[in-house]
C-alpha cells in the first residue's frame, strides 16, 4: 500500500499537479535515466546529455515556450506591479494564481515536449511472416487475437509523403533506396501509428502536436493535457488581470485629470507602459480562442478513452476493443495520476523476453497479461490497397479476395489467382 501511495504521489509531481515539486525540472535535473542515441533511428533529437528527447520539428516548442514566458513577463512587470501597489488584495491574488499556473504550465511543457511519447523500437530486419512481395500502394495486414478479440495489425512500411515542399526532398532521398529502408519493420500494435514528422511508430498515437514539436502518445498524453489545461487557465487569469489593470488605471486617470474614459485610456497608453498590459491581454485572448476548443475536445476524448486519430477516422472495433476500455473519472485518474512506464529508448531498458514457442503472442498495451496466440493455420497475412480491396493469403497458398468490404474485419471469399506484383525498385 505504501509503495502504491508513493507511486501515485510521484505521478502527481511529475504530471505538474504539485508545483512545489517542479515536476518538469525534476525530470531534467534529477532523472537518472538517459536516452540511448543508438536506439533512436528516426528524426527525434536528444538534448542535455541524454536527459531529454524532442520531436522531429523540435524548434517549434521553443516558440511555445517563448510565448508562454514572454507573456508572463510582460504581465508581471506592468499590470501585476501596478495592481499590487494600488490594490494589494487584487494584486497579491493574481500574483499567487499566475505564478502557480505558469510553474505548472512549464513543468507540463517539459514533460510533454522533451520526453519520449512512447516510441516503439524498430526491428533490424523484416519479420519472417512478411510477404516477400508487396505491391506499391498496398499494406500488409496480419490477423491476430488479443484478449480474445480478433485484431488486424498493419506492417509499418515507408509511404509517399503528401504533396508539399518536403515531397521533393523525399524523392531525392529515396531515389536509390529500397522501400523497406527507413521503416520500423514491425507489426504495429493496436492504436499505434507511424509519425511522418518524427519517422517513428508511437504507442497509442494521438497526434503530432505543432505546439510541442513532438508526438503525443502513451507516455506524454497526460502531460500534454495538463499543459493545455494550465495554459488555458493561465491565459484566463492573465487576461483578467490585464483587463482589471487597464480599467482601474483608466478610471483613476479619468478622475485625477477630469477627462472622459476614452481620453484617459489614450493618455495611459501614451504616457505610461500601459501598452504592455494591452499587448499581454490581446495575446492571452488569442491563446484562449485557440486552446479553448482544444481543451474541450481533449476533455471529451480523455473521458471516453479515445485518441484524436480514432476520433477523426471514426475508428470502430467491430469485434470489441482489445484494450482495457476505462471511461470517465477512472480513465482520467489512470492517465493523469499514474507514474509513466519506463521508456524503450532508455539505456537501461531491457526488452521483455518472449517465449519462442509463442512468437505470435502480443501484450495488451498497459497490462502485463498475455493473450493466447493463434494457431499457425489461423494467422493470415493480408495485402490490402487504399480502396478497401483485400487480398488474403492463407497457409496453403490459396488466395481470397474481399471486395468493397464495408464492415471492419469482415471478409467475402472468392477463388482468384495471385495478383501480387513485384516490388518497385
Longest dimension (CA), the chain: 95
Instruction: Based on DSSP, count helices (H) and strands (E) in the chain, helices before strands.
Output: 11, 11
User: What pLDDT is recorded for position 307?
Assistant: 86
pLDDT band of residue 306 (cuts 50, 70, 90) is confident
pTM of the model: 0.71
Q: Where are the beta strands (DSSP E) in 6-154?
A: 45-47, 52-54, 138-146, 149-154
Pairing status of strand 399-402 against strand 193-195: unpaired
How far apart CA 415 and CA 311 sit, in angstroms, is 36
Within 10 A of 39 (CB to CB), how many other CB atoms are there?
15
> Which residues make beta-bridge pairs with 401?
391
Q: What's the order of all strands across the beta sheet hosting 138-146?
A: 149-154, 138-146, 381-385, 390-393, 399-402
CA–CA separation, 315 vs 306, rounded Å? 9
Which is it for strands 138-146 and 381-385: parallel, antiparallel or unpaired? antiparallel
Interaxial angle between packed helices 274-304 and 60-77, expressed in degrees from 0 to 180 and rounded to the nearest 10? 130
Residue 211 CA to its chain's centroid (Å): 11
Tell whether the model's pLDDT for residue 176 goes beyond 60. Answer: no
Give the model confidence (pLDDT) of 361-418 as tens digits: 333 333 334 444 444 444 444 444 444 434 343 444 333 433 333 333 333 333 322 2
Spatial separation of the C-alpha atoms in residues 353 and 330, rounded to whole Å: 31
Kindly report the backbone phi and psi dihedral angles of residue 383, in degrees, each rounded to the nearest multiple of 5, phi listed first: -115, 115
What letters, b where the CB count within 10 A reaches 16 and e where it falls short, cover 348-364?
eeeeeeeeeeeebbbeb
Question: 99 and 84 in contact (C-beta within 8 Å)?
Answer: no
The model's pLDDT over 12-39, given as tens digits with 9 standing for 90+, comes to 444 444 433 344 445 554 456 788 777 8
Residues 6+ apart with CB under 8 A from 283: 67, 71
Task: Return the H-helix or E-strand segment holding 399.
Answer: strand 399-402
* Residues facing 399 on adjacent strands: 393
- Model pLDDT for residues 185-244, shown as the tens digit of each residue: 888 888 888 888 888 889 888 999 888 889 999 889 999 999 999 999 999 999 999 999
Calpha distance 202→189 (Å, rounded):
9
Q: Which residues contact 77 (CB under 8 A, 6 or more apart)?
A: 276
**Closest to 279 in 3D by CA, of 242, 236, 327:** 242
Sole residue written with cell 477516422: 313
Amino acid at each position: 500500500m505504501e509503495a502504491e501511495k508513493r507511486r501515485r504521489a510521484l505521478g502527481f509531481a511529475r504530471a505538474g499537479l504539485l508545483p512545489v515539486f517542479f515536476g518538469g525540472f525534476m525530470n531534467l535535473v534529477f532523472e537518472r535515466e538517459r536516452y540511448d542515441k543508438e536506439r533512436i533511428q528516426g528524426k527525434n533529437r536528444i538534448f542535455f546529455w541524454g536527459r531529454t528527447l524532442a520531436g522531429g520539428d523540435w524548434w517549434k516548442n521553443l516558440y511555445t515556450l517563448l510565448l508562454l514566458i514572454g507573456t508572463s513577463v510582460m504581465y508581471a512587470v506592468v499590470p501585476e506591479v501596478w495592481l499590487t501597489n494600488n490594490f494589494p488584495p487584487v494584486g497579491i491574488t493574481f500574483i499567487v494564481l499566475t505564478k502557480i499556473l505558469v510553474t505548472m504550465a512549464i513543468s507540463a511543457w517539459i514533460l510533454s515536449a522533451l520526453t519520449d511519447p512512447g516510441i516503439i523500437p524498430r526491428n533490424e530486419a523484416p519479420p519472417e511472416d512478411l510477404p516477400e512481395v508487396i505491391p506499391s500502394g498496398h499494406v500488409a495486414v496480419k490477423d491476430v487475437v488479443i484478449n480474445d478479440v480478433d485484431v488486424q495489425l498493419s506492417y509499418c512500411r515507408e509511404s509517399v509523403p503528401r504533396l508539399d515542399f518536403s515531397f521533393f526532398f523525399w524523392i531525392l532521398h529515396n531515389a536509390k533506396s529500397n522501400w523497406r529502408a527507413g521503416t520500423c519493420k514491425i507489426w504495429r500494435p493496436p492504436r499505434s501509428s507511424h509519425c511522418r514528422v518524427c519517422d517513428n511508430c508511437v504507442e497509442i498515437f494521438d497526434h503530432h502536436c505543432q505546439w510541442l514539436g513532438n508526438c503525443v502518445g502513451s507516455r506524454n498524453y497526460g502531460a500534454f493535457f495538463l499543459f493545455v489545461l494550465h495554459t488555458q487557465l493561465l491565459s484566463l487569469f492573465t487576461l483578467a488581470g490585464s483587463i482589471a489593470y487597464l480599467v482601474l488605471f483608466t478610471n483613476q486617470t479619468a478622475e485625477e485629470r477630469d477627462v472622459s474614459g476614452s481620453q484617459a485610456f489614450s493618455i495611459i497608453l501614451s504616457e505610461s507602459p500601459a501598452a504592455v498590459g494591452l499587448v499581454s491581454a490581446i495575446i492571452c485572448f488569442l491563446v484562449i480562442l485557440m486552446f479553448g476548443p482544444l481543451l474541450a475536445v481533449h476533455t471529451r476524448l480523455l473521458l471516453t478513452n479515445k485518441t484524436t486519430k480514432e476520433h477523426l477516422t471514426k475508428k470502430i472495433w467491430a469485434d470489441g476493443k482489445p484494450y482495457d476500455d476505462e471511461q470517465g473519472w477512472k480513465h482520467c485518474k489512470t492517465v493523469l495520476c499514474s507514474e509513466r512506464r519506463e521508456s524503450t529508448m532508455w539505456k537501461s531498458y531491457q526488452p521483455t523476453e518472449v517465449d519462442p514457442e509463442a512468437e505470435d503472442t502480443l501484450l495488451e498495451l498497459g497490462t502485463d497479461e498475455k493473450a493466447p496466440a493463434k494457431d499457425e493455420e489461423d494467422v493470415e497475412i493480408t495485402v490490402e490497397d487504399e480502396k478497401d480491396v483485400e487480398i488474403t493469403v492463407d497457409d496453403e497458398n490459396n488466395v481470397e479476395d474481399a471486395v468493397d468490404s464495408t464492415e471492419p474485419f469482415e471478409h467475402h471469399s472468392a477463388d482468384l489467382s495471385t495478383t501480387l506484383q513485384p516490388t518497385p525498385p
